[in-house]
């Protein structure tokens, strides 16, 4: 009895959410296929995400040489521009990444809805499949025809029809124009809300910088929307190259416009606008080679889908924006010195934290594709790996910033008072890095699972508590109180991620979805055996619903291509699925396969399977896929024909 209680206690301990970070922790640095896929997406994404804040830091460094008043003024303007941009574009980028990843996965790994386009092992047309069938006195398809069919598919793949991509670009352009008009016309009221009143010495420089930089808003939002499309394709290198080219241009033009042409803060704004339009042009040029940017008709645009999920994330980003903007506003009310120090600390805090956002981008893209493919094992492994990598990254960043920022503060200003406040903020910037990393990674997991509702609701609740903390602590603790409140804010965001894992393990969760619940249960359970007793309870067993071939294939990776299926009454006979052509209802269609007996092929080529709509099909998990074994023998064509007769 004591041993049983000890075993149950051990299992309960392993089911705690915190144990997720120790499940297969030895693999966190392993460069297996999953590790390489994560890094190939995360590293370029992190570099691209940090490139723009780094460019802003360079702006800050150049402007800091003019004077602390100009530095504080630009800090307020950058905070307004960035936060308004986040409200306009963040929901669009997040949903675009998930939607494009899903569509690209389904287009590339699952049956096409179009009757004339089908998925098969050889990537050939229906008419070409007939040449695979053994004919009396006939030969198999010649290699020239195969090469020709491959060339056709390759040419069609070069320009894909991705409705989500066209929708995102259209919405990004419209939102950019709206943002530019809003910021230019409401510059003074927004600056006044941020604490830059009419009698403030920061007003002239802040207003001029904000209006000039707002001219680049259409380019900023359009480029970010296209980055969401590329992330959905799991291509984060193209946005990186474009961003580096644009930011390098910005850094080169800054000293010319600021000091040579003596334009001051206006020169910094002009240099930044030029760089943003350069980034947009590069991304449009590259994306036009991959995707048909103009849809066949307005009906192909998915505005309803974007608006529904975008509204949820709009709630979330407004909550995030309000917290950060309020903190900047409270710092501005403390005076130019406090605002200048806060601006430097905040830019470093956000720029370094975006390194973890690269992991979130990788997790979102991989998870969205895995869920679209119904590959829940890969989704679980991906989530565990990026959580562990996020924690390691956060700890490393905390050490680097804690030791190096004390000496690097002089790069941004020479003012003694500003440097003193920066050194006070350094411990908060460093200590919160693990919390930042986990918060971003949890966001990526939720977005990859299209769990936008929980992300929105939890963030609103976190924002309410954080705003109260900001108002109270800033009035009592000043500069230190603001950073204490921001630390509480990031801690609550990370806690909300842990809470999601725990809540989805309980049947009483209010935000459960089927696929994500399966994924979280696997994520939070150390071994499949811990839930086996419940699954094997004979008193709760239910009669399984019979399925046709397509309903069975729907739950297999790649829609069952390469897997073996058979009718329930067949003995030792199965089909290895090689092609599926799906009708629009998603439950009917045509299928082709290679006949097998006792796990060995008995036909030289695939043939059309009959009786696919009968509800008597099953998946044979014990038959090894063709890619995992090398058949040593084949039987005659007549045997394959006999099997087809038996199957009928």
**611: alpha, beta or left, given left = phi > 0 and alpha = psi -120 to 50?**
left
Question: CA geometry: angle at 210 spanning 207 and 215, to 5°?
Answer: 130
Q: What is the DSSP string of 88-143?
A: HHHHHHHHHHHHHHHHHHHHHHS--SSTT--EESS---HHHHGGGS--TT--PPPH
pLDDT per residue as tens digits for the range 72-99: 888 888 878 887 887 888 888 888 998 8
Instruction: Please compute Rg for the chain using Cα positions.
Output: 29
Distance CA 45, CA 441 (A): 13
Contacts (Cβ under 8 Å, ≥6 apart) of 166: 291, 292, 293, 294, 295, 300, 301
- Provide the pLDDT for residue 175: 93
Instruction: Give the number of other CB atoms < 10 A from CB of residue 569.
Output: 8
For residues 271 and 275, give the distance between their C-alpha atoms in angstroms, rounded to a whole number: 6
How do the domains of the chain map onto residue ranges?
Answer: 15-108+157-516, 115-156, 549-647
Predicted structure pTM score: 0.64
Q: Are strands 573-582 and 119-120 parallel, antiparallel or unpaired?
A: antiparallel
**In the chain, which stretches have pLDDT less than 50?**
1-14, 16, 109-157, 505-542, 626-648
Residue 510: what pLDDT?
A: 32
With a CB cutoff of 8 Å and minimum separation 6, the contacts of 235 are none
In DSSP terms, which residues pair with 567 in a beta bridge? Answer: 617
């Amino acid at each position: 009895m004591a041993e049983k209680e000890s075993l149950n206690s051990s299992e309960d301990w392993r089911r705690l959410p915190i144990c997720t970070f120790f499940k297969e922790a030895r693999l966190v640095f392993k460069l297996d296929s999953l590790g390489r896929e994560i890094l190939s997406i995360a590293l370029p994404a992190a570099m691209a995400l940090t490139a723009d804040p780094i460019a802003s830091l360079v702006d800050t460094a150049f402007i800091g040489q003019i004077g602390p008043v100009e530095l504080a003024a630009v800090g307020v303007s950058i905070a307004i521009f960035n936060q308004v941009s986040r409200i306009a574009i963040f929901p669009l980028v997040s949903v675009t990444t998930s939607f494009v990843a899903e569509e690209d996965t389904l287009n590339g790994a699952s049956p096409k809805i179009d009757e004339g386009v089908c998925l098969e092992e050889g990537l050939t047309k229906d008419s070409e499949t007939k040449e695979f069938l053994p004919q009396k006195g006939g030969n198999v398809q010649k290699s020239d025809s195969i090469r020709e069919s491959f060339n056709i598919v390759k040419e069609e793949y070069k320009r894909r029809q991705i409705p989500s991509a066209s929708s995102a670009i259209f919405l990004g352009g419209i939102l950019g124009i709206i943002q530019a008009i809003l910021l230019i016309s409401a510059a003074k009221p927004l600056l006044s809300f941020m604490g830059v009143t009419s009698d403030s010495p920061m007003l002239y420089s802040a207003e001029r910088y904000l209006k000039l930089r707002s001219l680049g808003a259409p380019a900023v939002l359009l480029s970010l929307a296209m980055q969401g499309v590329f992330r959905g394709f799991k291509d984060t290198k193209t946005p990186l190259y474009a961003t580096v080219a644009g930011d390098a241009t910005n850094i080169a033009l800054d000293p010319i416009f600021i000091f040579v042409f003596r334009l001051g803060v206006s020169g910094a704004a002009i240099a930044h606008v030029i760089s943003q339009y350069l980034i947009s042009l590069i991304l449009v040029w590259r994306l036009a080679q991959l995707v048909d940017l103009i849809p066949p008709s307005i009906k192909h645009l998915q505005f309803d889908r974007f608006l529904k999920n975008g509204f949820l994330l709009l709630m979330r980003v407004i909550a995030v924006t309000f917290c950060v903007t309020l903190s900047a506003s409270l710092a501005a009310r403390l005076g130019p010195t406090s605002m200048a120090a806060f601006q430097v600390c905040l830019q470093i805090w956000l720029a370094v934290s975006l390194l973890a956002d690269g992991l979130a981008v990788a997790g979102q893209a991989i998870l969205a594709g895995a869920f679209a493919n119904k590959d829940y094992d890969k989704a679980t492994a991906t989530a565990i790996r990026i959580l562990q990598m996020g924690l390691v990254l956060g700890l490393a960043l905390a050490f680097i910033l804690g030791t190096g920022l004390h000496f690097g503060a002089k790069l941004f200003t020479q003012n003694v008072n500003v440097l003193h406040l920066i050194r006070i903020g350094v411990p908060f910037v460093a200590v919160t890095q693990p919390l930042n990393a986990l918060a971003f990674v949890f966001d990526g997991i939720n977005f990859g699972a299209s769990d936008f509702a929980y992300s929105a609701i939890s963030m609103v609740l976190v924002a309410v508590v954080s705003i109260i903390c900001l108002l109270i602590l800033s009035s009592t603790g000043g500069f230190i109180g603001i950073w204490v409140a921001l630390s509480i804010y990031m801690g609550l965001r990370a806690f909300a991620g842990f809470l999601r894992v725990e809540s989805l393990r309980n049947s009483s969760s209010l935000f459960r979805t089927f696929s994500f619940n399966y994924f979280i249960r696997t994520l939070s359970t150390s071994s499949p055996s811990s839930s086996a007793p419940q699954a094997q309870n004979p008193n709760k067993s239910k009669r399984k619903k019979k399925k046709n071939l397509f309903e069975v294939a729907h739950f297999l990776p790649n829609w069952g291509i390469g897997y073996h299926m058979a009718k329930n009454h067949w003995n030792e006979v199965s089909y290895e699925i090689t092609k599926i052509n799906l009708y629009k209802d998603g439950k009917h269609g045509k299928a082709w396969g290679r006949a097998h007996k006792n796990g060995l092929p008995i036909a030289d080529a695939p043939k059309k399977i009959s009786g696919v709509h009968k509800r008597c099909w099953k998946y044979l998990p014990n038959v090894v896929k063709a890619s995992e074994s090398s058949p040593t023998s084949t039987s005659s064509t007549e045997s394959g024909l006999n099997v087809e007769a038996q199957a009928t």
